Chains A and B, each alone.
Chain A
Amino acid sequence: MNAKILTFSSQGDTTILEYDPATADMDEVNRVIAEYEAKTGAQPFDVATGERIEKITRAQNEVLMVHPIAGG
């Protein structure tokens, strides 16, 4: 089963990236996600636990990139 990295957007929930966790280069996945975070401020959360994660591993099947929030 493929792993997915999702985010919320104006289109609703949106798949950013999908990969086979058994074969994917996780360093490359994390590099791509780091670029996404640098551009949008979104950080990865494990959808299975609801917890923020520092690094995506093969154990995560569904990751949600959560966007920044401002007060005001």
Chain B
Amino acid sequence: MASAILSVLVLALLIGVIVLLRWRLLYPGFRRGNLGRVGVTQGQANRGRSFGQQGFFRFGAHRQNHDSAVASRISKEQRAEAFLQRILALTGAMKVDGAYVLNVGRLQFQLRDRFIRRLQNPNDPKSPYEETCFYLVHNGMPKVEEIATALLHLSNNPALFDKWALQNGVAFKADGKVFDRCPLMGLR
């Protein structure tokens, strides 16, 4: 008799846990904070890095959960690739022989993984060129998002190439100003 009661209790507990898990997976929006102060809604639950904002807001929220059930089946690499395609369309860059080719005025940049070549005259195969490596100061993002970031930087400010090439290890923001709070500074 006692074992039967125990079995029923364990079964009820299991069902409760399953219901709770399903509820948390399907309705994460219920866990959002109240961001009404500025009409701001937070993204998904803040499982990511927090940058220590006060009260109503924290950075590092994950992708919005509008279709979380679908989104969870799409890997971050697939999303990153899709975003890169958007950036390619925006900047007019193309993928050619494994390199991402961006034309800015008369210059041509050829980007590969953490490596950029700048051609002065892309129509001339003997044209002089310069090369530099690059890296994101906040590492760990998918490679194609690093490429997308560099494409956006260069399409807006091609002179950044010279800064990257001449000042190794110094991080530059998109506007060309030095970012002196680089977390990787001193590690290279």
Contact = CB atoms under 8 A, between A and B. Distances in A.
Interface residues of B, number: 70
B127 interface: no
B174 A52 contact: yes
A29 B112 CA distance: 35
Contact of B138 (A17, A64, A67): A67
Contacts of A52: 152, 156-157, 174-175
B97 to A, nearest CB: 23
Main secondary structure, interface of A, reads: mixed
Interface in A11-60: 11-20, 23-25, 28-29, 32, 35-43, 45, 47, 49-52
Given A32-B57, A43-B175, A47-B86, A69 B137 contact: yes
Given A12-B80, A68-B172, A69-B134, A29 B40 contact: yes
B167 interface: yes
Contacts of B38: 19, 24-25, 28-29, 32
A15 B75 CA distance: 15
Interface of A: 2, 4, 8-20, 23-25, 28-29, 32, 35-43, 45, 47, 49-52, 64, 66-72
13 contacts: A11-B63, A11-B76, A15-B43, A17-B42, A18-B41, A24-B38, A29-B38, A36-B51, A38-B181, A66-B152, A67-B138, A70-B184, A71-B167
Interface of B: 35, 37-44, 48-49, 51, 53, 57, 59-64, 75-77, 79-80, 83, 86-87, 90-91, 132-142, 145-146, 148-150, 152-153, 155-157, 160, 163-175, 179, 181-182, 184, 188
